[in-house]
Amino acid sequence: MSTQQPESQVNTSSEQSNEVSNVSGTSSITSTVTETLSELLATVEQQQLSMRDLHRQLKKLEKEVIREHKRLSKVNKPKRKIVQKPVIVSKSMKKFMNKMKEPEHADGGWTRQVMMRAVAAYVKTKDLQIADNRKNWKPDSTLTKLFQLESGQLYSFMNINGLISRVVEKKN
């Protein structure tokens, strides 16, 4: 029996060394597994961030494509071109238009557009505009006689077309 004890002691010491090696092996395996898992988690987080970024970029691109598609799908309407007919005007307006050196149309008379431009140019050259509000002007004696205006009243450039109606001769 005495001989058996040392064997058991030897076996015990070898078992202990195996256990120690198993424990250190297990801890090294555990540490490598933990490192691998943490690396995988970091990689997954990075991929999630890049996917979010890709998603944002795709949304922006989608909006731009939709906006561009709408812009291209709109039909460019041609601008309205209105050809005005020249109208016959009173003698006083003829005299005024000749004074403003506006050539008469081949069909005789002037278009409303040309007359409006001539009256507006006259107002600006004679400095008839009100200093506080340049949209308004006060007629001088020439315009008062031409359009039968009330002296002292203010007119705007928007009123010129209506004033021109006073000098256009109506066809019978």
What CATH number is given to the structural domain containing 132?
1.10.245.10
Number of domains comprising the chain: 2
Tell me if 102 sits within 8 A of 110, measured CB to CB.
yes
The tokens for 146 are 């031409």
- Give the model's pLDDT for residue 10: 45
Q: 65 and 109 share a domain? A: no
Region of residue 160 (left: phi > 0; alpha: psi -120 to 50; beta: else): alpha
Q: Looking at residues 57-73, what average pLDDT do you find?
A: 92
Torsions phi, psi for 65 (to 5 deg) = -65, -45
Q: 53 and 96 share a domain? A: no
Domain residues for the domain of 71 are 1-77
Q: Is 133 inside a domain boundary?
A: yes
Q: Is 135 inside a domain boundary?
A: yes
Domain end, chosen from 45, 77, 109, is at 77
Binned at pLDDT 50, 70 and 90, residue 61 comes out as very high
Per-residue pLDDT at 39 exceeds 90: yes
User: Tokens 């709408």 map to which residue?
Assistant: 70
Query: Of residues 122 and 102, which shows the higher confidence score?
Result: 122
Query: Would you give the DSSP letter of residue 24?
Result: H
Query: Of residues 132 and 82, which shows the higher confidence score?
Result: 132
Per-residue pLDDT at 94 exceeds 70: yes
